[in-house]
Amino acid sequence: MRKKRIMIIGPGGSGKTSLANVINGLAGPARRTQNMVYGEKTLDVPGVYLESPWMHKHIIAAAQDASHVLMLVDQSSCRESYPPGFAKVFRVPVIGVITGNGEKPEHDGWCIRQLKKTGAKEPYYHINLSEGTGILELLEELK
């Protein structure tokens, strides 16, 4: 039986690799990835897989090895990243995560609408990786 990992998806620059490093207990700077990266506890999916609709089938196939799917939305960038209902294609729990440094709290409403449109259910987790806020709550949910 394969080891189940936490799949992390989101647009480029939303903090996927940084969050994967935190969950895996790794330190150091995050690097942009062009391939799926299987960490000890995570599966980090590059943003280009999400941004290219013809790659969605690869995300869905890789989710067979997932225990959870984290759908990230970047608070600093209001861009549509997910097709409507995308969270409903996964057979595991989907958790909505709003990333950012808190500089654009006025975008929270947009982020929540985006997650609802995908089919991700509340509660949504706000995390700030640079300050370390919200991460403990998210990790507790993943246990």
User: Residue 76: which pLDDT band, with cuts at 50, 70 and 90?
Assistant: confident
User: Do 45 and 52 meet the contact criterion of CB atoms below 8 Å apart?
Assistant: no
Question: What is d(CA 107, CA 94) in angstroms, rounded to the nearest whole number?
Answer: 21
Name all domains of the chain by residue range, CATH numbers in brackets.
5-142 (3.40.50.300)
Angle formed by the axes of helices 16-24 and 135-142, to 10°?
70
Give the tens place of pLDDT for each residue, 24-36: 998 876 677 788 9
pTM: 0.92
Could you tell me how many helices (H) and strands (E) the chain has, helices first? Answer: 5, 6
Q: Which residues contact 54 (CB under 8 A, 6 or more apart)?
A: none
